Amino acid sequence: KATVFNKEANYDRMIGALQESVRRRRKVLVFGTPYLLLEICQKIKARQISLKVRKGSGVIFGGGWKSFDGRRIPEEELVRLLSETFGLEPRHIAEGYSMTEIHGLMLRCSHKRYHVPPHFETVILDESLKPLAGDDVTGALGIIDPFAESYPGFLVTGDTVRRINAPCPCGRSGPMILSIERSAGREVKGCGGIMAKINA
């Protein structure tokens, strides 16, 4: 109900809050899925509103890359729109890998690697769900989340990833995710696809 039927009212509220932040010269952090951020950029442009946010603001996106109509949004197109809409340099627009079941975000660096935050412990599992050892392993991603309260703190995702543990050219070190794909036999999910089903 909130996402579909009240969507326009929520966009109005969000745009109003952004305008107030710009007026008061406050920094903002805009976070959302690619398809929602695409829509908000289109609505701001259609209304001919200037929303050039204060220096030090940022945009983070993550989740399904498809729009409501099932079209894949090119990353370059989204970053360009976000940069134009909010007056931000592309380096202040970042992508993150996460899911609703965990409390955190793995931000992607300029070398396209998703860095695992220190409060997560990642476990890479083989087909029989046995942990794989090593600094360069590929398998099903499991996450131990110390902040989970309403459900068990260990989650086996439906994603197959390649995780390495090494210094990154960006300057960070520690575990990082290099590639992500849906595990074989798992339903293809994503916020855009789910919303498309709800709208149908």
Distance CA 157, CA 116 (A): 15
Distance CA 21, CA 185 (A): 46
pLDDT, average across residues 67-74: 67
Average pLDDT of the chain is 87
Residues 6 or more apart whose Cβ sits within 8 Å of residue 30 = 18, 37, 57, 58, 59, 60, 86
Q: What is the pLDDT of residues 147-197, one digit of tens each?
A: 887 777 888 988 999 999 999 999 999 999 999 998 876 555 554 444 444
Given pLDDT bands bounded at 50, 70 and 90, which one contains residue 72?
confident
Given pLDDT bands bounded at 50, 70 and 90, which one contains residue 66?
low
pLDDT given at position 153: 82
Q: What is the pLDDT of residues 39-52, one digit of tens each?
A: 999 999 999 998 99
Q: Which of 19-23, 76-80, 145-149 has the lowest mean pLDDT?
A: 145-149
Residues 6 or more apart whose Cβ sits within 8 Å of residue 199 = 4, 68
Query: pTM to 2 decimals?
Result: 0.77
Residues 6 or more apart whose Cβ sits within 8 Å of residue 32 = 40, 61
CB-neighbour burial class of residue 135 (10 A; exposed 0-12, middle 13-18, buried 19+):
exposed
pLDDT given at position 198: 44
